[in-house]
A and B are shown apart, each in its own frame.
Chain A
Amino acid sequence: MNFFTVFRKEMLEQWRTSRFLIVAAVLVAFGMSSPLLAKFTPEMLKLIPNVPPEIFAAFPTPTVADAIGQYIKNMSQFGILLALLMTMGVVVQEKERGTAAFFLTRPVSRETFLLAKFASMALTFIASLSLAALGCWYYTYVFFEPLPWGPFLIMNGLMLVIFLVYMALSLLGSTLARSNGIAVGFAFLFLIIIGGIGALPSIGDYFPGRLFGWGANLVMGGTDSAWPALGVSLGIIAAALTVACLVFRRQEV
């Protein structure tokens, strides 16, 4: 019911409140700077005075693997943090401000209200990550070598899935919470749970974090895969959104 009308409003809001610009600026900055950092970190270290030359000799010459590694490291930290921060308040703030109550007496179903928010955030991240990937690819090409398009796209797609996992969980927290502070607590609780379990040996292979490794491996020409982790990630997204919709349907706003 009215999904596209609400989605259109959400996208306009992303733009007018500068959320889109913030996400795009942060992801593009880290996307572009990753190959640069990989390339120039050893050079910058050489500028430090009084360091014996044999220390520098121990640094390996930067390669495309370092550029990809840096890109994944940046995205796994700042991308996830951004996904949490940009989503954690989207529902609870509307409940606190009263806009949710104002609009839920209109022909807008509660599911539409939530899913349009998720879809607009997802589109913001898709667009921003695409720009970031383009920047990363270009600078990697300039300073190292061209990356294979197919695997590089898949790697970014897998990264997007990870972001969507955290966005869905953060949206669930925002739906469950009665105040912004509690929503923040939920978001970081989910981060700790998913990150903590994902760090465990063997179980971690089934968790979203494993997708970073799969993507990097593909770009570097490997054939390793992590389909179970992809399945679990998509399952977490679906489950988080379903629970959020069910909870919100019964919630008094």
Chain B
Amino acid sequence: MSSVHVEDLTKHYGAVHALDGLNLDVAPGTVYGFLGPNGAGKTTTLRILTGLARPTSGRAQVAGVDVLKDGHALPRHIGHLPEEPAFYTWMTPLEFLDYLGRLYGLSADGRRTRTRELLALVRMEEVSKRRIGGFSRGMRQRLGVAAALIHHPEVLFLDEPASALDPAGRKEVLDLIEHLRGQATVVMSTHILADVERVCDVVGIIARGKMLVQSPREELLERYAVPAFEVDADDRAALARWGEDLRRVPWVTAVTAQNGTLRIIVKERQAAKVALLSMAVGAGLVLNRYQEIRPSLEDVFLQLVGSESVS
């Protein structure tokens, strides 16, 4: 059974169709990257799945709970980190987590233990008695992660958890998400491809309110991969001549040369793997680098969504 199951979800704001028949399935224990350009419908989806908004039509289930019919049962199963987590600034992290623990019905001992664990996890023990009002964006984000985990949720929704953070802050938050692998199902919306590549097992790409593709990350890269090889050599003239020869080979689609690097796109990956290196040696080239190019998620994303919508 899926941890998150969404069927034909639509959400209309007047004439604007924020979601247009979205389908989504997330298996338990997955770190799911919900990827899409700005305005694709990621936040709207998460708002519906966390009970903050109602869909115009469609069905949604989270941890076995029907979001539309049994919304009141949802909070005990989910954790939610909004894009900009908001806090009562007069509270300290200690008070804040204790308050959340009370809301989830934890005992006094349970709250103390869990609060200590979480503050250690997000490395905030030293500021645990400082007012949240003075915290930086990164500190708030980390506290938001701790808040989302207080009750060991089955499903954790993270809306752009690292988008507005500096590189150090981003690394910290992504490390935290890595740490959660296997402990909870994580659905992470983002438009930062590198973050998805780094932590997500499964990727769903959404655009204009529709799911374009949903697949394990490696399968997706495999499916949309364009087989290509790169060769570097110091002798650019020889490299260029060899490139001309390659254009006549039947399994070669295209050859481009740039700054001493020859990029060879092929039709038959296996044939190229067997023949290419020996052909280069046969052409008298002294190679600095020979590499089969692995496609990036960005390549896949651009193929599916179009370069104009990439942030």
Interface size on B, residues (CB 8 A): 26
Residues of A close to B76: CB separation below 8 A: 107
B-contacting residues, A57-109, CB 8 Å: 97-99, 101-102, 104-109
The list of the 7 closest CB pairs from A to B, nearest first, reads: A98-B86, A105-B80, A16-B90, A99-B86, A5-B102, A252-B53, A107-B75
* Contact B90 A101, beta carbon cutoff 8 Å: no
Residue A2 CB within 8 A of the other chain: yes
Q: Which residue of B lies closest to A112 (CB)?
A: B103
Given contacts A13-B88, A16-B90, A102-B87, contact A107 B82 (CB under 8 A): no
Chain A residues in 8 Å Cβ range of B104: 106-107
- Minimal Cβ-Cβ distance residue in A for B83: A98
- A5, A99, A109: the one within 8 Å of B72 (CB): A109
Please indicate which of the listed interface residues B72, B99, B105 has the most CB atoms of chain A within 10 Å of its own CB.
B99
The distance in angstroms between the C-alpha atoms of A198 and B100, with both chains bound, is 44
Residues in A whose Cβ lies below 8 Å from that of B53: 252
Determine the chain A residues whose CB is within 8 A of the CB of B87 once the complex forms: 99, 102
Judging by beta carbons under 8 Å apart, are A5 and B99 in contact? Answer: yes
- Is A46 an interface position by the 8 A CB rule? no
Residues from chain A with Cβ under 8 Å of B75 in the complex: 105-108
Given contacts A105-B75, A105-B80, A253-B52, whether A5 and B103 have CB atoms under 8 Å apart is: yes
**Given that A9-B99, A98-B86 are known contacts, is A104 also in contact with B72, CB under 8 Å in the complex?**
no
**Among the listed A6, A17, A98, A105, which residue makes an inter-chain contact with B50, where contact means beta carbons less than 8 Å apart?**
A105
A-B contact pairs, 11 of them (CB 8 A): A5-B103, A6-B103, A13-B90, A98-B86, A104-B51, A104-B52, A105-B80, A107-B76, A107-B104, A252-B53, A252-B54
Report the minimum CB–CB distance from B177 to chain A (whole Å). 18
Which residues of the other chain, A, contact B82 by a CB distance below 8 angstroms?
98, 101-102
Q: Scoring B residues 56 to 93 as 1 if CB is less than 8 Å from chain A, else 0, what string do you get? A: 00000000000000001011101010101111101000
Task: Tell me the smallest distance from the CB of A112 to a CB of chain B, in Å.
Answer: 10
Q: Which residue of A lies closest to B11 (CB)?
A: A252
* B86 touching A97, Cβ below 8 Å: yes
**Chain A positions 1 through 45: 1 when the CB is less than 8 Å from some CB of chain B, otherwise 0:** 110011001000100110000000000000000000000000000
